[in-house]
């Protein structure tokens, strides 16, 4: 059976979107930044369109497509494909992701789930050895590989919502893979950091290391002819060129050689899924974000609901009181994430309860201004470094807004590269709960709701988000970095909506993160010593970390579109 776009699974007609009410108070006070992680660059301003991604060449690819008459969907797909070529440590066609879009002309929001899913032969016990979870099995090698969704998702998005032929959209990525590009600082750092592991995977080492085993360095040209050929075939034949035939056989052979269970049937049966976007209210704005199997949207909205009655401006930006309140809300929401979130095709996620005003009020009333609490206070879960993932934000001349978060999970995914097709394959099986209460590579624990099952999608923290003001996008944001994606996106949103920061300042400002387990409050260096001391006196276990996620954002103002690429990871905002 050939690929048929009509067979896409649809979930967006099963009921009303989740909506919670929050304070409608508008913040009219502007404050200056007191705590910033990096120097704030001058904002990139444009009136016809804006593309922000973690690589300048990828952002340029998106602008190229806009200039050829494409819309935000076309540009987002082109950018995502180009990032997969230029930053293969983060994402690529061997991975998957989520796309969130808003079309102001029809006031329609779209959420497309092309998350990877477990092979048919996957079992709940597949990572258990001698009664215990073996983390190594889900983090690299063949068993770590889930069915990729990137090609299916992006081709569907362009065909359904774009203006240009997919062959035109994919052309910049083909060119970058074929002709090569200078290795960027982030990719070079990731290659060097992971060199010892890369050396144990010969096909990947042949691309990323020199013959003597030394890592390819920043500025060196990187060409990927096998990947270019695969992308050219997809341009000509559509997704069947990936999910059937020679490329599929190459992927399966590489997976099986590495000890995996993926089959050609798993690839041929993959379809993206249309979901109903989550909708929330905050300070008079509507917040659109991704539903499960992403936990990011629900956790984000739950936190916003908990803090909605607090005047953050009066409390002060990154003050001890503000940060304590945010952290306590984070811990409650992440405890809920661990207990009940999973693939909605397999489990019922109680979002109406979690996102209700009654629930938020009860949680807020339980938060003490004088202390934090032990782990058990926050949830009833069963006993129990940013690399992969990339985000991009796009807006076009008509105000169509797209937020895409895409990933192979950790750096270079499973480390398995299919040699004939040049595809680096994900390690998304690690995002399942291999065993209740046992943490994954990001320190996150889960319960039965996120257990492994055939064809199931693992829980994700990706949080593509669009904030509306009077039915027009005013902020497009999301990030990379595992669970810190959620809290980094949250704090960027607060910096814009509550504190009225310009988008570069909002992205650059110092952040904190607490995910309930482990019991650590991570803070960036820009959080001053007095604030850290105050938080420690409240009982928080404070630890400094150099970077908490990388956010790519677009803000819409009366003057046009401004874009900000996070200085923590590089990248570029480009407009026209």
Nearest to 4 by CA among 113, 159, 175, 164: 159
CA distance linking residue 100 with residue 224, whole number of Å = 30
Q: Under DSSP, is residue 433 helix (H, G, I), strand (E, B) or coil?
A: coil
How is residue 132 written in tokens?
A: 């215990």
Spell out the residues 6+ positions from residue 572 whose beta carbon is closer than 8 angstroms to its own. Answer: 52, 53, 55, 56, 59, 60, 565
What would the DSSP string read from start to end of 527-556? S-HHHHHHHHHTT--EEE-S---EEEEEEE
Tell the burial category of 568 from Cβ atoms under 10 Å away from its Cβ (0-12, 13-18, 19+).
buried
- What CA dihedral angle connects 198, 203, 207 and 208, to 10 degrees? 0
User: CA-CA distances (angstroms) from residue 556 to 47, 200, 503?
Assistant: 10, 47, 9
Terminal alpha carbon distance of the chain? 43
Nearest to 408 by CA among 188, 175, 149, 195: 149
Of the residues 79, 389, 410, 465, only one is catalytic, namely 389
For residue 207, is it left (φ>0), alpha (ψ between -120 and 50) or beta?
Answer: alpha
Nearest to 509 by CA among 467, 548, 541: 548
Instruction: Report angle CA 23, 327, 278 to the nearest 5 degrees.
Output: 50
CA distance linking residue 231 with residue 235, whole number of Å = 6
Q: Would residue 47 show up in a list of annotated catalytic residues for this protein?
A: no
CA distance linking residue 212 with residue 216, whole number of Å = 11
Q: Under DSSP, is residue 109 helix (H, G, I), strand (E, B) or coil?
A: strand
Active site (catalytic) residues: 389
């Amino acid at each position: 059976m050939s690929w048929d776009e009509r067979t896409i699974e649809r979930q967006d007609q099963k009921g009303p979107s989740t909506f919670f009410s929050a304070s409608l108070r508008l913040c009219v006070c502007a404050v200056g930044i007191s705590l910033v992680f990096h120097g704030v660059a001058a904002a990139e301003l444009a009136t016809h369109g804006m593309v922000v991604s973690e690589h300048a060449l990828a952002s340029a690819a998106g602008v190229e497509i806009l200039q050829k008459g494409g819309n935000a969907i076309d540009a987002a797909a082109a950018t995502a494909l180009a990032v997969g070529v230029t930053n293969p440590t983060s994402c690529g066609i061997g991975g998957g992701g989520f796309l969130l879009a808003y079309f102001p002309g029809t006031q329609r929001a779209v959420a497309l789930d092309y998350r990877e899913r477990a092979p048919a032969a996957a079992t709940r016990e597949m990572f258990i050895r001698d009664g215990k979870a073996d983390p190594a099995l889900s983090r690299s090698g063949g068993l770590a590989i889930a069915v990729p969704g990137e090609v299916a998702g992006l081709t569907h998005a362009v065909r359904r919502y774009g203006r240009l032929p997919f062959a035109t959209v994919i052309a910049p990525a083909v060119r970058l893979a074929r002709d090569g590009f200078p290795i960027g600082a982030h990719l070079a750092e990731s290659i060097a950091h992971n060199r010892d592991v890369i050396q144990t995977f010969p096909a990947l080492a042949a691309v990323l290391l020199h013959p003597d085993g030394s890592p390819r360095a920043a500025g060196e040209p990187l060409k990927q002819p096998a990947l270019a050929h695969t992308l050219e075939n997809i341009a000509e034949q559509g997704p069947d060129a990936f999910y059937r035939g020679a490329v599929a056989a190459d992927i399966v052979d590489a997976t099986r050689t590495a000890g995996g269970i993926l089959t050609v049937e798993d690839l041929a049966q993959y379809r993206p899924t249309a979901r109903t976007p989550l909708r929330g209210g905050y300070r008079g704005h509507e917040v659109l974000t991704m539903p499960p199997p992403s936990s990011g949207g629900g956790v984000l909205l739950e936190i916003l609901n908990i803090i909605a009655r607090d005047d953050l401006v009066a409390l002060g930006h990154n003050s001890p009181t503000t940060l304590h309140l945010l952290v306590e809300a984070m811990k409650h929401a992440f405890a809920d994430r661990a207990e009940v979130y999973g693939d909605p095709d397999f489990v019922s996620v109680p979002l109406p309860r979690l996102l209700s005003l009654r629930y938020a009020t009860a949680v807020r009333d339980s938060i003490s201004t004088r202390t934090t609490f032990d782990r058990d206070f926050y949830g009833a879960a069963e006993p129990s470094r940013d690399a992969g993932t990339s985000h991009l934000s796009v807006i076009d001349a008509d105000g169509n807004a797209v937020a895409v978060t895409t990933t192979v999970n950790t750096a270079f995914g499973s480390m398995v590269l299919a040699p004939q097709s040049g595809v680096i394959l994900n390690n998304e099986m690690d995002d399942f709960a291999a065993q209740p209460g046992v943490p994954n590579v990001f320190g996150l624990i889960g319960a039965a709701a996120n257990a492994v099952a055939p064809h199931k999608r693992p829980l994700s923290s990706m949080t593509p988000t669009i904030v509306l003001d009077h039915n027009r996008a005013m902020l497009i944001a999301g990030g990379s970095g595992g669970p810190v994606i959620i809290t980094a996106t949250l704090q960027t949103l607060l910096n814009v909506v509550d504190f009225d920061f310009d988008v570069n300042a909002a992205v650059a400002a110092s952040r904190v993160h607490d995910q309930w387990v482990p019991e650590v409050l991570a803070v960036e260096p820009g959080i001053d010593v007095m604030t850290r001391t105050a938080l420690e006196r409240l009982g928080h276990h404070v630890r400094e970390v150099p970077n908490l996620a990388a956010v790519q954002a677009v803000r819409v103002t009366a003057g046009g579109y401004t874009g900000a690429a996070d200085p923590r990871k590089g990248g570029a905002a480009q407009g026209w």
